[in-house]
Amino acid sequence: MTNSSGAAPRRGRPSREAVYQRFSSAIAELANYGGLPKPYEARKLWDDLWALEAHHSTAIEGNTLVLREVERLLYEGRAVGSKELKDYMEVLGYSEAARWVYQQAVEPTEWAHDRLVTLTEVRRIHALAMAKVWDVAPHPDAYDSEGPGSFRQHEIAEFSGGMKPPTHPLIPAEIDSWIDQANALGSSIAAGQMDVANVPEALAGLHRDFERIHPFIDGNGRTGRLLLNLVLVRLGWPPAVILKEQRRRYLVALDKADHGDLSPLAEIICRAVIDNLHRLIPNIAGPAKYVPLEALADDEFSLVALKQAATRGRLEAVLGPDGRYRSSRAAVEDYKASKYTRRRQSP
């Protein structure tokens, strides 16, 4: 069997088609539980996602703050460590933009299906993400008219992989076309005209096309990832947090997408959304509801450990028609308690 790029999947790793189907199943499962959790249901989880995204998305661009420093900065307002001021300001600005994006999920504004994204919002996200760092470290070549929220008036050379942004006079028209593309995708999904399993590659194409335009003189990667998440949360799905450890894979995938192969980038986005679904689902399902084991794994009990316990009958679980075990938080807590009891009783 081959994946959509024609290469055989690595041993033990599901094909991309299988990952897309997992994405579709996870989205359907989320809908069964009533959609994304509200702030009072999962405030800590949303805050954790917020800090994770602010850390990883800025780190992809070279920010040196570690996650602990980001959390202290965002939760306590303390700049710990001895990093450059611009790194702290970059994280603060990104976090403001991400907070606004997340509010579209937990406190959604009214939007028509043909207006998933607007030009004002594209500019707003860039302005929020870049204003604080721009105050202390503006782009050295920027004109006064190229600040946060304003399109570039410079030409950008072709990137090493061959991606070539359009000349700057074309940017307004190119962005208008991109917004039309995003809104058409939203309309198609909302009307049920697109199989959810086909959505990852459509999202990958949308992200690639924004990065191709490169409408701003700086901050295009951060803004592009924030816009991707705006689309996701307005569709009622979790954001995609691309990890800094995936930086090389992500950049290679963007390059492949620019050359017509969307599948590597689609898989990265797909897996990132699924990971966050697994973080959120237990909080909306309640302790007694059965959810995929992936959503119940933690630092104490990995997915492999839970699968072994389910297979051996030690964890109350059911094997679904999709070949995946499901259990509940309550059942996992019972299993943990029984395991600790057995340990204490061992000679």
Which amino acids are annotated as binding site for ATP, given as ranges? 218-225
CA distance 185 to 92: 31
CA distance 315 to 44: 27
154 is catalytic: no
CA distance 64 to 202: 32
Contact in structure between 255 and 163 (CB atoms under 8 Å)? yes
The alpha helices in 65-198, defined as continuous H runs, are 67-76, 85-106, 119-136, 171-190
- For residue 101, the cross-strand partners are none
CA 193 to chain centre: 24
CA distance 90 to 265: 25
Q: Is 204 left (phi over 0), alpha (psi -120 to 50) or beta?
A: alpha
Of the candidates 207, 214, 259, 278, the residue annotated as catalytic is: 214
Residues tagged in the binding site annotation: 218-225
CA distance 247 to 342: 43
Q: Which residues are catalytic?
A: 214
